[in-house]
Amino acid sequence: MPALLIALFAAVRCTVRSRLELEAEILALRHQLAVLQRQAPRRPRLGHADRFLWVVLSRVWPNWRQAVQIVTPDTVVRWHRRGFALYWRWKSRPRRPGRPTVAFDIRALIRQMHAANPLWGAPRIHGELQKLGIEIAQTTVAKYLGRPRGKPPSQTWRTFLTNHVSQLASVDFFTVPTATFRVLFVFVVLLHERRRVVHVNVTAHPTAAWTAQQLREAWPWDSAPRFVIRDRDGIYGPDVQATMRAMGIEEVVIAPRAPWQNPFVERVIGSLRRECLDHVIVWNERSLRRHIRQYLAYYHEWRTHLSLDKDAPVSRTVQSPTGGMIVQVPHLGGLHHHCEHRAA
């Protein structure tokens, strides 16, 4: 009988409650039934999602205490306070102090600059970065450089030779037979830096005095290089040696029968033979000078060299691909050609 009266009272009470309150009570009761069915007959255990639901109900439903059955209202309040504490702990978590981090590409650029220039420190690299428009503190640059590891690494042999190649030159003689079976001697002076033949002359009777004069004509005033590489030919006698000393040149004499120790001038002489003199008949000294002069004009201005990154000794400008039609310009009577764009 009391249970019936309680049920009738509950039914009358439901008619006067709001729709939202009724839905909240139904949700609470169904949730508790689901928990009991899931874990019966053991003691029910509520997970984090269950606790979150009851915390939300306690905030939006004023009469939630009357519907809770499997836990006490104080337990729900404790859950709410614990969640409140966790929320503010996350909200007040310590953040990283100091300046914002430097972008990865800038850090990589700092290390690349240091690797390419081992003698540079933080001030030099900081200055380069400023010229690139990158705003960064010098102390930050020093931090990413790290501590110096003793002496900087040694430069490569290629770098060492590149730094000294402007002070190197080679000289050599080679012979050319004429149509009348005479033998002419050609003296070649080569600068290593851009593979330029700075002087060449022809004679039928070379002497030490004549050779010394060719050196003075090749390098007037104080334009002579520091070192000149030559072979052990007897023509480089006392007159030539005295002339080199007066010009401030130090001779580098190769080993006997070792032309490979003077490779640059030997390569130029080989190119002169293969690309010019092997294809013409030389009549006399004037004829030979004309052929060599024409070939050297082509050699210096148009012929590309692998050792110069496929450029000519006198650097060629790169033409625009839209500069007009491509034409072939002959050299040495059509023995060689170079290509260039020309407007129609």
Sequence letter at residue 256: P
**Do 190 and 122 reside in the same domain of the chain?**
no
Q: Tell whether the model's pLDDT for residue 78 goes beyond 90.
A: no
In a shared domain, residues 125 and 59? no
Same domain, 117 and 40: no
What's the average model confidence in pLDDT over 301-314? 89
The structural domain count of the chain equals 3
pLDDT value of residue 269: 96
Q: Which of 92-101, 138-147, 156-165 has the highest mean pLDDT?
A: 138-147
pLDDT score, position 6: 47
DSSP 108-153: HHHHHHHHH-TT--HHHHHHHHHHTT----HHHHHHHH-S--SSPP
Peptide bond between residue 225 and the one before it cis (omega within 30 degrees of 0): no
Q: What percent of the chain has pLDDT over 70?
A: 80
Phi, psi of 281 (to 5 degrees): -110, 120
Are residues 170 and 58 part of one domain? Answer: no
Q: What is the pLDDT of residues 227-262, one digit of tens each?
A: 999 999 999 999 999 999 999 999 999 999 899 999
Q: What is the pLDDT of residue 8?
A: 44
Q: What is the pLDDT of residue 3?
A: 47
DSSP codes, 52-96: HHHHHHHHH-TTHHHH--SS-HHHHHHHHHHHHHHHHHHHTPPPP
Does the structure show a pLDDT above 90 at 282?
A: yes
Kindly report which listed range (63-67, 213-217, 254-258, 328-332) carries the lowest average pLDDT score: 63-67
Same domain, 129 and 44: no
Task: Please indicate, yes or no, whether residues 112 and 217 belong to a single structural domain of this protein.
Answer: no
Domain shared by 183 and 287, yes or no:
yes
How confident is the model at residue 42, as a pLDDT? 58
Cα 46 → chain centroid: 60
**Whole-structure pTM value:** 0.59
Same domain as 128, residue 177: no
Q: Indicate whether 177 pLDDT > 90.
A: yes
Residue 74 lies in a domain: yes
Q: With cut-offs at 50, 70 and 90, classify the pLDDT of residue 1.
A: very low
Q: What residues make up the domain containing 239?
A: 163-308
- Residue 263: CATH number of its domain: 3.30.420.10
- pLDDT of 43 > 70? The answer is no
